[in-house]
Structure formats: C-alpha cells, structure tokens
C-alpha cells in the first residue's frame, strides 16, 4: 500500500492492483469483514474505499449479495498521442496484452500507403488483445516498417508497449500521429478477440504514428469495444473575421 496516503486510498489502490490478476469482471470482492481483517482498518475506511471504486465504475454493489468487479467504463480524452498502457494507467487500471500473432507479411495496401512503402515491401504484423482490469478493451492490428518491426518483435509484447519499445529501446521518438475514427461493428475475428457477439458495436481507429522528420513508422487498426469506452475531446471555435 502507498505509505502516507489516507487509509481508504491505500485500500482502494490495493484492490485495483488485483483487478485483472486474481479479481476479474464479475468476481465478488472480499466481504467487509474480510477486508477489515486483511488491511487492519476500520469498517468506515473499507466502505469509503468501496464507494470510491463504485464512483469510478470499477465496482458494482448488489443489495444482499456484496460488491463485484465491474467491466471498466473508460473515458478516453483525445488530446495527445498516447498509448493504451499510458491511457489506462492514468485511470488507475492494471493492463496487459494477449499476443495472438507476430509475423512478417507483404504490406497490405492500407499499411503500405500509410507507411509510404514501395510496392512489394514487407512489414512486421502484430495482433494483440489489450486488457484493462482483466477485461478485453481493444483488439489491435499493428504494422511496423521493416527496419524496426523485427526489433520490436523480439520484445516482450505481453508486458512492454510498442511505443515504449520504439522510443526507449530503439531510439525512435514518436512525435505526432494521424487518427481516423469510425463507428463500426465487430466481424467474426474482432468479436472472438474481444469476447463479444459478432455485429456488436466497436470504435474502429486507424492511427499512423510518425517519428522525427514526419517519417511514418507505425500503422495500426484498433478496435475498441463500444460498451466500455467513450472518447472525448475539446475543440476551439475559429475566431470570426472582423
């Protein structure tokens, strides 16, 4: 627990750290008495910690049955180029990835165009399911330029974000990205990866990330579960001509 912070925050933080590890969506939390004994705190401290988790939409309480881990409800601001792990950690959520595929393929037309590659070029293709608090949130298809893809593929893709591998391991700062967002539905592959019914609502995001010199290095097609995430942004109105 975090020394120096209020006891209820310490209990709250300790419980969140277990989400996706030994507590998953639908699991019942320990009872109040069990938490009191485990953490050596008062009942009011335990109740305040649980209330905070409820207010964060991480826990639901059911009368007479107890408190249960909820599927995350995430609000994601689109104000800066950040990766999945950074986004989830900002909301106090434990993350991990499940790697489905890593291979080298002929660049599909969309990836070849986004990465500005010649006809016949190859790319490293990576497919992952990204989880927050043990819950599948995003199914990602990533395409990396040849000179970096092989290096990234050697990393621990279950625990190391690709952005971190590019920037900290392979000296490739990411400075900007183009985004395209589209309302879509899950085909059979996306539905299986995210654990939803085929035809369920998803956000489909195409993102091309650039390093210095506006050189594209990373093209991704991301599918976010429509029932778990809300994207937000703030826009300024152009100044009127006087």
Give the C-alpha separation, 125 to 149, whole Å. 8
Pairing of strands 176-185, 201-211: antiparallel
pLDDT of residue 18: 84
- Whether 2 has a pLDDT exceeding 60, the answer reads no
CB burial string 34-64: b at 16+ within 10 A, e below: ebbeebebeeebbebbbebbeebebbeeeee
pLDDT of residue 134: 77
Provide the whole-model pTM.
Answer: 0.77
Give the C-alpha separation, 39 to 51, whole Å. 17
Same domain, 93 and 16: no
Same domain, 63 and 102: no
Query: Helices then strands (H, E): number in the chain?
Result: 8, 10
Give the C-alpha separation, 116 to 157, whole Å. 25
Residue 12 inside a domain? The answer is yes
pLDDT of residue 242: 59
Residue 40 inside a domain? The answer is yes
Same domain, 196 and 91: yes
Same domain, 31 and 122: no
Segment 173-201 shows an average pLDDT of 95
CA 142-136-91 angle, 5° bins = 95
**105-150 tens-digit pLDDT:** 999 999 999 999 999 999 999 999 998 877 899 999 999 999 999 9
pLDDT of residue 241: 67
**82-100 tens-digit pLDDT:** 888 888 888 777 788 999 9
CATH of the domain at 43: 1.10.10.10
Number of domains within the chain: 2
Same domain, 86 and 28: no
- Tell me how far CA of residue 122 lies from CA of 37, 119, 145, in angstroms: 57, 9, 8
Domain boundary among 34, 50, 69: 69
Same domain, 65 and 80: no
Mean pLDDT of the chain: 91
Same domain, 93 and 35: no
Residue 145 inside a domain? The answer is yes
Domain that holds residue 177: 74-232
**Cβ atoms of residues 117 and 107 within 8 Å:** yes
Q: Across the strands, what pairs with 52?
A: none
DSSP reduced 3-state for 113: helix
Domain boundary among 25, 53, 69: 69
CATH of the domain at 147: 3.40.1410.10
Residue 85 inside a domain? The answer is yes
Q: Across the strands, what pairs with 77?
A: 232
Segment 181-201 shows an average pLDDT of 95
């Amino acid at each position: 627990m975090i020394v120096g912070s209020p006891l209820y925050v310490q209990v709250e933080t300790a419980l969140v750290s277990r989400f996706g590890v030994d507590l998953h969506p639908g699991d019942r939390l320990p009872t109040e008495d069990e938490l009191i004994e485990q953490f050596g705190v008062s009942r009011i401290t335990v109740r305040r910690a649980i209330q905070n988790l409820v207010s964060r939409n991480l826990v639901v309480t059911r009368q007479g049955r107890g408190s249960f881990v909820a599927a995350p409800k995430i609000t994601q601001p689109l104000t800066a180029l950040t990766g999945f792990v950074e986004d989830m950690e900002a909301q106090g959520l434990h993350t991990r990835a499940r790697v489905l595929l890593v291979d080298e393929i002929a660049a599909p037309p969309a990836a070849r165009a986004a990465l500005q590659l010649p006809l016949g070029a190859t790319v490293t293709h990576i497919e992952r399911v990204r989880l927050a608090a043990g819950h599948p949130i995003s199914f990602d298809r990533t395409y990396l330029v040849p000179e970096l893809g092989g290096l990234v593929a050697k990393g621990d893709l279950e625990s190391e974000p690709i952005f971190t591998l590019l920037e900290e391991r392979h000296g490739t700062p990411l400075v900007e990205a183009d985004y395209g967002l589209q309302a879509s539905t899950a085909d059979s592959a996306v539905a299986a990866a995210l654990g939803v019914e085929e035809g369920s609502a998803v956000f489909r995001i195409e993102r091309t990330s650039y390093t210095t010199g506006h050189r594209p290095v990373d093209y991704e097609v991301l599918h976010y579960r429509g029932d778990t995430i809300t994207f937000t942004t703030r826009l300024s109105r152009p100044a009127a001509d006087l």
